[in-house]
Amino acid sequence: MTELPEDVRDLVALDLRAAQVQDWSIAGDSFTWTLLTGDPDRGHELATVTYVGAVVLHTNRRDLDRAVAAAAEVARAEVVPTGEGGFEHRVVLAPDYPLVVRFWSVEVRRMPAPDHLRRVR
């Protein structure tokens, strides 16, 4: 992969293994979701990811609400460039729920979080 812009490198650097979906929102051309990352040994973080120029594929609002209610966890995630100069964040929520976010830029905000935010599935 060619050199990634700094904002996309921030997204790639997130360890989303078993991250739980906490909430999401769509406003204009932005898609934002908050994920609880980490584990009790390493500690937890809330990562809020806002994709700008975003198009969300393979899902709808009802499915996203169900993912939050079910404390859905990330099974796999990868960022790939598109042919048009943007990127896709390809995410599979357990057990087998695909979600693709096409975007032009992204903002990642991270903050420490208490362990009790992790919900039992």
Domain locations in the chain? 6-111
Stated pTM of the model? 0.92
- The rounded distance, in Å, linking the Cα atoms of 89 and 91 is 6
- pLDDT, tens digit (0-9, with 9 covering 90-100), for 10-54: 999 999 999 999 999 999 999 999 999 998 888 999 999 999 999
Query: What distances in angstroms separate CA 74 from CA 6, 28, 82, 110, one per listed residue?
Result: 23, 25, 22, 17
Which CATH fold topology does 6-111 show? N-terminal domain of MutM-like DNA repair proteins (3.20.190)
Pair type for strands 97-103 and 105-113: unpaired
Alpha-carbon distance of 120 to 46, in angstroms, equals: 17
Cβ neighbours of residue 98 closer than 8 Å, sequence gap 6 or more: 58, 59, 90, 91, 92
User: Quick one: average pLDDT of 64-83?
Assistant: 92
- For residue 25, the number of C-alpha atoms closer than 13 Å in the C-beta half-sphere is 5
Give the confidence band of 97 by pLDDT, cuts at 50, 70, 90: confident
The percent of residues above 70 in pLDDT, for the chain, comes to 98
